[in-house]
Amino acid sequence: MACSDSPKRIPYHLAMELALTGLARPGSFFAQWGLVNYAVDRDFVFSTAVELARKVTASGALAAGTRVEIVRRAYDWPEDEAWHERRVYATCHQLGRHPRRYSCLP
């Protein structure tokens, strides 16, 4: 699994079963548990990946990077801070600058 926080996302009993048995599971199994967004047939893997990449890059690298940073950091923020940070990131995005260290704010 590609996500660095995967052990936290997997229910304990499922993680233990996968670790102890080492059994291979189809993509649909992991989709059922919400560990992947969706499963596609082998014949459509490349075309699906290309389409997803097009969607991600459609709004530009700055927007994609900002969204990734918001999602990664939001899990650690209390709700009021999350709303504040969202406004900061939105302002930075409107100004066309990266929000790191709030250097984008006037």
Q: Note the pLDDT of residue 53.
A: 93
26-46 pLDDT, tens digit per residue, is: 888 888 888 888 889 999 999
Nearest to 71 by CA among 22, 25, 7, 4: 4
Q: Which pTM was predicted?
A: 0.55
Q: Note the pLDDT of residue 60.
A: 83
Domain boundaries, the chain: 11-57, 61-102
33, 35, 36, 37 alpha-carbon torsion, rounded to 10°: 70
**Mean pLDDT on 47-53:** 95
Residue 54: burial class (beta carbons within 10 Å; 0-12, 13-18, 19+): exposed
Q: What is the mean pLDDT of the chain?
A: 79
Of 8-12, 51-55, 79-83, highest mean pLDDT: 51-55
62-91 pLDDT, tens digit per residue, is: 778 877 877 887 778 788 887 887 777 777
Count CA within 13 A, CB hemisphere, residue 47: 5
Q: Note the pLDDT of residue 105.
A: 44
Q: Note the pLDDT of residue 43.
A: 96
